[in-house]
Amino acid sequence: MRRVNQLGRAAAFPLFFAGLLLAWEVSIGLFHVPAYILPRPSEIALSARADYPLLLRYTFITGTETVLGYAVAIVVALPLGLAIAFSGLLRRTVYPTLVSLEMIPKIAFAPIFISWLGFGLLPKVIIVFLVCFFPIVLNAVAGFVSLSEELTRFTRATGAGTWRAFFKVRLPAALPQVFVGFKYAAMNASVGATIAEFIGSDQGLGFYIQIATGNMRPDLAFAAIFLLALLGLSMFGLVTLAERVLIPWDISQRRIRGKN
């Protein structure tokens, strides 16, 4: 009985999603929507299969831009977040600067970078980096400075040195908030890559969507959109997996798994 229940729970999402696709499929016929406005999911799947070598190559290109930008953002933002959290000077200078810059839609820089650096990989990686960098650094700062007063005092009263206190208390305590930044950035990384491709590129899924739309082929555009969704989902899934492994004790993980 219990196993059936678990199976049912695991199946809930795929079933619901399949239901949505089915509703889409059926309503196109029901309301006589022409394929050049909105194609059926089955048509999208067929067109995608026909053009799969190119779609696959472009998925790989957009994926590379996304993952590279995201990885560089983590590598730069995490140490910087730490430095800001532990340096009063940086907190008074760099931190307010970052908060001000955060107000700018990062995409606004895309045309400039492309005019400087051309149509290649680098400007896209930079845009993705910019999109991901801010949520990661700001959440890291928030995580590292927000140790409870009780734990701060407790740690001080043990006489532990900075490093020992950091690795045993501060770092693990900050991880849930750090992961908020990781997850938010993972959700937005492919947005940066796609828009950068819209603005100036000759390959990638963003480029593909523009060409397909220009050729009145929304079926192909939707195929690319699904691949983008898949790309974003795998990124988010990987980060969520890392979160579950690294901080299984966090309240968010406990609630999702239905414990407590």
Partner 1 sequence: MPHIDIRNVVKRFETADGGVHAFGPATFTVERGEFVSLVGPSGCGKSTLLLMIAGLLPPSAGEIDVDGRPVLATRTDVGIMFQDNTLVPWRSVRRNIELQLELRGINPKTCRERIDGLLETVGLTDFANRAPFELSGGMQQRAAFCQAMVHDPDTVLLDEPLGKLDAMTRERIRADLQRLWLKTRTTVLLVTHSIEEAVQLSTKVCIITPRPGRLDSVVDIDLPWPRDLTVKRSAAFAGYVSQISDVFHRYGEI
Which one of 20, 151, 238, 241 is in contact with partner 1 (CB under 8 A)?
A: 151
Using rule CB under 8 A, residue 30 touches partner 1:
no
Using rule CB under 8 A, residue 255 touches partner 1:
no
Using rule CB under 8 A, residue 148 touches partner 1:
yes
Using rule CB under 8 A, residue 177 touches partner 1:
no
Number of DSSP helices (H) and strands (E) in the chain, helices first: 12, 0
Using rule CB under 8 A, residue 142 touches partner 1:
no
What's the CA gap between 205 and 198, in Å, rounded?
9
**Minimum distance between the CB of residue 3 and partner 1, rounded to whole angstroms?**
25
**Minimum distance between the CB of residue 150 and partner 1, rounded to whole angstroms?**
5
Using rule CB under 8 A, residue 156 touches partner 1:
yes
How many residues form the binding site for partner 1 (CB under 8 A)? 23
Using rule CB under 8 A, residue 155 touches partner 1:
yes
Tokens 């200078």 found at? 93
Which one of 24, 60, 119, 154 is in contact with partner 1 (CB under 8 A)?
A: 154
Burial per residue of 177-194, b for 16 or more beta-carbon CB atoms within 10 angstroms, e otherwise? bbbbbbbbbbbbbbbbbb
- What tokens were used for 133? 């960098």
Pick the closer one to partner 1 by CB: 5 or 162: 162
Q: Which stretch binds partner 1 (CB under 8 A): 17-25, 161-169, 181-189, 225-233?
A: 161-169
Length of the chain: 260
What's the CA gap between 254 and 60, in Å, rounded?
35
Q: How far is CA 209 from CA 104, 191, 197, in A?
A: 26, 13, 10
CB atoms under 10 Å from CB of 27, counted, come to: 12
Which one of 49, 92, 168, 255 is in contact with partner 1 (CB under 8 A)?
A: 168
Pick the closer one to partner 1 by CB: 211 or 251: 251
SS3 203: coil
**Minimum distance between the CB of residue 248 and partner 1, rounded to whole angstroms?**
8
Q: Which stretch binds partner 1 (CB under 8 A): 58-66, 87-95, 153-161, 178-186?
A: 153-161
Going by C-alpha positions, the residue among 191, 229, 205, 196 that lies closest to residue 60 is 205
| Calculated CA dihedral for residues 18, 24, 26, 31, nearest 10 degrees | 170
Pick the closer one to partner 1 by CB: 182 or 236: 182
Q: Which residues bind partner 1 (CB under 8 A)?
A: 148, 150-151, 153-160, 164-165, 168-169, 172-173, 247, 249-251, 254, 260
